[in-house]
Structure 1
Amino acid sequence: MKLMILSCLAVVTVAGPQFHFTSPRHIAILRDNRFNDDNGNFQYEFETENGIYENVVGRPGRSGGQTMDGSFRFPLPNGIIADFQFVADENGYQVRSPVIPTPHPLPAHAAEQVALTEQLRARGARWDEQGRRIARSAGY
């Protein structure tokens, strides 16, 4: 039984991912400022020598939660600096950045169909779960 367990461990070790560790590089912290008034208000900011930066301001939210806003950035492997601005509040986490992909705008014919659907809905038209119209409005 011991031989079986030892064999299984040997197989897992050999079959597992192979890591090639290099010696870790020390990255200096250039700035580390923190403030907390113990009433829900805080601010922190830090920056490292390799381009990582974060600045966050927090305060009590309207509905008893916490509201935060700030920015952060870090270098990508291709050398570009990824820069982000965010707000986190009762409406959720909203982030803006030029590196976040955005959807393409709707083609003109699709925008026309959306506008027509909104007009029909305003006149009382309704649809079922499969998209079939179940209530016709006056004039349509």
Structure 2
Amino acid sequence: MKLVLLACLAALAVAAPQFENAIPVLILRDDRVDNGDGNFNYAFESDDGIAIEASGSSGSVGQSNIQGTIRFILPDGTPADLTYVADENGYQPQGALLPTPHPLPAHAQEQLLIADEQRAAGITFDQRGFRVNRK
């Protein structure tokens, strides 16, 4: 039993994170205001290019509405920005790094245009895909 305990402690010591070559990061800005009523602001910035700002308020349905910005530097040195709103409509991020859907092929775009034209003309279809004739 002592041998198992000793082996576990040795494994834990070997698995401990090594911070010998870690570069310290300086905090350049850390501003926080919390009014205690759901309204708050905070801003954080470090010397490695990370900056986070957010402000929040109480929502109409009891949720917290938050809007903010996150900035950081990519490994190639390019700055990246992400803005977001989180409210009763959910989390809505915006930024160039977010994935976007592939564009629809031309034939799919054409089918959508045809469907729009049919709806505008009052043409409807049943659950099985057959056209409903209205007189």
Please give the TM-score of this superposition, normalised by the length of structure 2. 0.77
Gaps of 5+ in 2: none
The structure 2 residue matched to 1:54, chosen from 52, 55, 76, is: 52
Any idea what the Cα deviations from partners look like across 1:27-56, whole Å, max 9, x if unmatched? 111111111111111000010000000000
Query: 1:136 & 1:82 partners in 2: Cα distance?
Result: 50
- Identity fraction in percent: 39
The structure 2 residue matched to 1:137, chosen from 126, 132, 135, is: 132
Query: 2:36 & 2:124 partners in 1: Cα distance?
Result: 53
Query: 1:4 & 1:112 partners in 2: Cα distance?
Result: 72
Task: Report the RMSD for the aligned CA atoms in angstroms.
Answer: 3.1
Query: 1:29 & 1:3 partners in 2: Cα distance?
Result: 45
Q: How does 1:29-40 map to 2 (within 5 A)?
A: 29-40=27-38
Structure 2 CA distance for partners of 1:30 and 1:3, relative to 1, 3 Å: closer
Aligned match of 1:97: 95
Aligned match of 2:125: 125
How many residues matched?
130
Please give the TM-score of this superposition, normalised by the length of structure 1. 0.75
> Secondary structure of 2:132's match?
coil
The structure 2 residue matched to 1:24, chosen from 22, 25, 30, is: 22
Gaps of 5+ in 1: none
